[in-house]
Chain A
Amino acid sequence: MKRNIPLLIAMIAGFVMIVAYFIPYTETWGDTVIVWFDILAAIAFVLGGGNLLKVHLKKASDQVPGWGYSVVTIIAFVVMLGVGLGKIGVNPAAKYPEFAWSGSYREVGAPFWWLYEYVFKPLQATIFAMLAFYVASAAFRAFRAKNFEAILLLATAFIILLGRTAAGPALTSWFPDSIEGLEADKLTEYLMTVFNTAGNRAIMIGIALGTASVSLKILLGVERSYLGSGEE
C-alpha cells in the first residue's frame, strides 16, 4: 500500500500530462494536475524547512565535527523565518493603518529588508565571487596541453576568453579583410554558433531520448527507485 498508492498517483498524473499535451480537449486535466503539483511544491518548502531543522539540530546535539556550522544554520533559519513571518518592525500599510501587520515585509528599512540587504545579499555575492579565485588557481595548475584534445580545449578557451572582452577585437582588428573571420570576436561567435550548438544539440537529443525512456519506465512502474528503499 505504502508503495502502490504513490506509484498509482505518479502513473495517473504522468499519463494525464501526456494525454493533455496531445489532445486539446483534455488540456484542462493537465492544468489541474499541474496546480496540484504547484501546491505540493509550496508544501515542500515547509517539509524542507522542517527537515533542515531536524538534520542540523541532530548534528548540533550530537556535537559531530563541524556542529558549529549547524548552530549558525539554525540561528540564521529561525531569525529569517521569524522576522519575515512575524513581520517584525514592519509599518502598517497606508490603506489599513489600524492593522499593525498590514505593511509589506519587504519595505525599505524593515528588519527583513535589512537582513536581506546587508547579510544575505553580500554573503551570496561573496560566495559566487570567490569562484574567480579558484578558477584562476585551477587554470594555473590543471589546464595542461598534455595531448591533442587538451590543446584544442586550450585554444578554444583562449579564443573565448579574449573574444568575450574588448581585448580580443583590440588584438586582432588589424587582420586583413581576407582573414577577417579569424578576428577574436568573430571566431568566438563562430565557435559558439557552430561547434557549441552542434555539440549541445547532440547531447540534448541524447538526454531527451534517455529521459523519455526513463519516464516511461517510471509511469509503467518498472523503475521504482524514486520511491526510496522502503526502509525507515
Chain B
Amino acid sequence: MLDFLKNLDRRWIFLLMLLSVAIPILLQAQFPETPSELSQVVFEELEKLEEGDKILLAFDFDPASEGELGPMATAFVRHCCEKKLKMYFMALWPVGEQMIVDNINRVIKADFPHLVYGTDYMNLGFKAGNEGVIKVVITDMRQLYTTDADGTAIDQIEMMQGVDNIKAMDLMINISAGYPGTKEWVQYAVTRYPDKIRLVAGCTGVQAPLLYPYIPQQLPGLLAAIKGAAEYEKLVMDKYGERNAEGEIIEPGKYFEGRRRMGPQLVAHVLMVLLIVAGNIIFIADRRREKRQ
C-alpha cells in the first residue's frame, strides 16, 4: 500500500483536482464572505467621491488572469457607474484593451445604457511602453494620446476637456496581473506625486505579497485575488442592491461572479492541504520503514 501511494500516478491527483473544481461549479456552491479591512478601504475610497468626479481605470491584465481579476473589474465598473463618476479607461497590456471593451459591454452598455460615451466614460486604449507610458501620462498625456481607442481625436471628446494628465483624476484604480501593473503605478506615479495621485488596486494572488509593503501610504487599499473580488462584490451589492442608479433592475448574477468562483477555490485549497498532509504521512512512514530495514 505504501509503495502504491509513494508511486501514485499523478493522473489520480489531476482527477482529484478536476473533481474538486468541477463539483462546486456544478452544484453552484457559494459561501459567505466577510469583507476584510483592505477591501473596505477600497470601497470607501470610491464612496468618498462625488458625482462627476474623474476616475482612471487601468486594466493591466489579460484573459489568462481574467478568472481571478475579471469579477473585480466588473464590480469596480459597476461601482463607478452607480456613483456616476466619469470613467477613463486605459491599458498597459496589449490585451487589456479587450478587457476594457468586455466590461464596457457587460456592465455599462447592458445595465447602465443611459451613460454616454465621451461624456460619462471613454476608452483611451492600449499604449506600448510599460512604465514609460506612466511617466508620460503623469505630466502630459496628450503627448502620447492624440486619439481614443476608436481613433476619435482627444480634443473632440467632451470629458477630455481640461484633462492634461492623470493628476486631474480624483482617484485611480489599477487591476494588475503582473508587469507592468500596480507596482509600476506606485513607483512611477504615486511616489512622484503622493499628494495628487491616489491609487487603489486589485491584483492576482501571487502579486499580493509583493504589494503589501506599499500599504497604506502609497496604496491605501488592495483587493487580493478572487477573494478580494468576492468581498468587494458583497460591499457593492449590500449598498446598491439589484437596481442601477436609474432604478432599473440589473442582472445580479454577473455581479456575484467572484463569490461564485470562491466555491471551487475553497474546495481546491482544502484538497491542497489534504494532499500536503497525505504526502508527508507517506514520507514519514517511508522513512521509518527504511530505518527499520
A192 interface contact, C-beta 8 A: yes
Q: Tell me the complex Cα distance, A144–B276, Å.
A: 8
Whether A136 touches B271, Cβ cut-off 8 Å, given contacts A143-B276, A196-B209, is yes
B32 interface contact, C-beta 8 A: yes
CB-nearest residue of chain B to A21: B192
B186-215 at interface with A (beta carbon < 8 Å) = 205, 208-210, 212-213, 215
**A158: chain B residues within 8 A (beta carbon):** 273, 276
Whether A35 touches B276, Cβ cut-off 8 Å, given contacts A104-B150, A136-B14, A140-B8, is no
**A1: chain B residues within 8 A (beta carbon):** none
**B205: chain A residues within 8 A (beta carbon):** 164
**Pick from B34, B140, B208, B272: contact of A135, CB under 8 Å:** B272
Count of A-B contacts judged by CB separation below 8 Å: 147
Please tell me if the beta carbons of B269 and A145 are within 8 angstroms of each other in the complex: no
Q: Tell me the complex Cα distance, A42–B125, Å.
A: 14
Whether A31 touches B139, Cβ cut-off 8 Å, given contacts A136-B13, A192-B208, is yes
Within the complex, what minimum Cβ distance (angstroms) separates B188 from chain A? 10
Among the interface residues A27, A132, A162, A200, which one has the most CB atoms of the partner chain B within 10 A? A132
Partner-binding segment picked from B58-66, B72-80, B112-120, B249-257? B58-66
**Pick from A35, A120, A139: contact of B275, CB under 8 Å:** A139
Within the complex, what minimum Cβ distance (angstroms) separates B11 from chain A? 9
B283 interface contact, C-beta 8 A: yes
Whether A42 touches B128, Cβ cut-off 8 Å, given contacts A106-B101, A192-B209, is yes
**Pick from A28, A137, A162, A185: contact of B273, CB under 8 Å:** A162
**A127: chain B residues within 8 A (beta carbon):** 64
A14 interface contact, C-beta 8 A: no
**B227: chain A residues within 8 A (beta carbon):** 164-165
CB-nearest residue of chain B to A186: B36
Whether A31 touches B273, Cβ cut-off 8 Å, given contacts A41-B132, A166-B266, A200-B209, is no
A116 interface contact, C-beta 8 A: yes
A226 interface contact, C-beta 8 A: no
**Pick from A35, A108, A136: contact of B17, CB under 8 Å:** A136
B129 interface contact, C-beta 8 A: yes
**B105: chain A residues within 8 A (beta carbon):** 108
A111 interface contact, C-beta 8 A: no
Whether A200 touches B212, Cβ cut-off 8 Å, given contacts A125-B64, A136-B16, A166-B262, is yes
Please tell me if the beta carbons of A121 and B36 are within 8 angstroms of each other in the complex: no
Q: Tell me the complex Cα distance, A1–B86, Å.
A: 52
CB-nearest residue of chain B to A200: B213
A133 interface contact, C-beta 8 A: yes
Among the interface residues B34, B105, B262, B280, which one has the most CB atoms of the partner chain A within 10 A? B280
Q: Tell me the complex Cα distance, A4–B78, Å.
A: 54
Please tell me if the beta carbons of A34 and B132 are within 8 angstroms of each other in the complex: yes
B interface residue numbers (CB < 8 A to A):
8, 10, 13-14, 16-18, 21, 31-34, 36-37, 62-67, 95, 97-98, 101, 105, 127-130, 132-133, 135-136, 139-140, 143-144, 150, 205, 208-210, 212-213, 215, 225, 227, 262, 265-266, 268-273, 275-276, 278-280, 283
What 4 new A-B contacts, CB under 8 Å, besides A154-B276, A161-B270, A165-B266?
A37-B129, A38-B144, A165-B269, A166-B31
